[in-house]
């Protein structure tokens, strides 16, 4: 595979990812991704993107229960 930014070679590894919303922040230390060996840009796998999306949806749906 080729990096969409610099055309470098992508290698399968893991990368950190953070979602910042108005009321909260979620951070993953290592999600499956393809990392560019030239510029370091991550391209996350579909499975990881689905996990991120589901996590944000669940927290958004439940965050009113967490409010003080």
| Nearest one of 56, 24, 5, 39 to 15, comparing CA atoms | 39
pLDDT of residue 11: 97
Compare 30 and 65 and report the one with higher pLDDT.
Answer: 30
Average the pLDDT over 58-63 and give the result.
86
pLDDT (tens digit per residue) in 7-58: 999 999 999 999 998 888 999 999 999 999 999 999 999 999 999 999 999 9
Inter-CA distances, 54 with 30, 65, 66, Å: 17, 18, 18
Topology of the domain covering 10-66: Ubiquitin-like (UB roll) (3.10.20)
Hey, CA dihedral for 9, 10, 15, 20, is it positive or negative?
positive
**Domain map (residue ranges) of the chain:** 10-66
């Amino acid at each position: 595979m080729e990096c969409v930014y610099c055309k470098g070679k992508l290698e399968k590894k893991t990368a950190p990812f953070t979602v910042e919303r108005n009321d909260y922040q979620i951070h993953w230390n290592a999600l499956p991704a393809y990392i560019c060996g030239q510029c370091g840009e991550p391209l996350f796998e579909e499975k990881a993107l689905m996990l991120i999306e589901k996590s944000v949806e669940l927290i958004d749906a439940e965050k009113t229960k967490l409010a003080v």
